[in-house]
Amino acid sequence: MGRIAAPRLGAAIAVAIGIQAAAVMAGAMAAASAADRGQVVERSVHGAWSLACAAQQKQRCSLSQVVATDPAGKNVVLGVAVDLFDSATVPTIHFRLSANALREAGLGMKIDETATLRLPIGDCDKQYCQANGRIDDQLMALMRAGKVIQVAFLTAQRKQVTVPVSLSGFDAAIDALREASR
């Protein structure tokens, strides 16, 4: 099994977390939160992915997708965000999952029929657990060409939870993110 390189939480992520401490997707969702407050200068939808850029700092753009188990979107089981906060060239992917996730088991992700990649779960609190990783060139190629990421984690009761994350529109979305982040 491969591993995704886990980034350091840099100053940009720390600032974003400080701006939106109670947000669904700390750091990468700061732009989405700004969108909810009407402070967005740019917002677009690319298939299953949304792009939002905060008005105060146009370079603070992120892609996001929320996966829910109900059609109304109220029972959210996973949030995913992609940003260029720490690097202008290598995106970071953030997964926010249940606080009941078994931290030491980590998170697994499989794009279509490729090998499973592992990502450590770095932070957990009473509301959620978070796993972050860099999207290197090989993973980017898989995500651009893929249809779905199966994200899996274990609960504290050792029950596996598998959540599909659509890659519909990801190719256009990542291009839009790069363009908006210039």
What are the extents of the domains in the chain?
Answer: 2-180
Residue ranges, the chain, pLDDT below 70: 1-40, 55-59
Distances from the Cα of 17 to the Cα of 23, 29, 40, 141, angstroms: 8, 9, 18, 29
Model pLDDT for residues 132-143, shown as the tens digit of each residue: 999 999 999 999
Helix, strand, or coil (residue 29): coil
CATH fold, domain 2-180, is Immunoglobulin-like (2.60.40)
Per-residue model confidence as pLDDT tens digits over 1-37: 444 444 433 322 222 222 222 233 333 344 444 444 4
pTM comes to 0.78
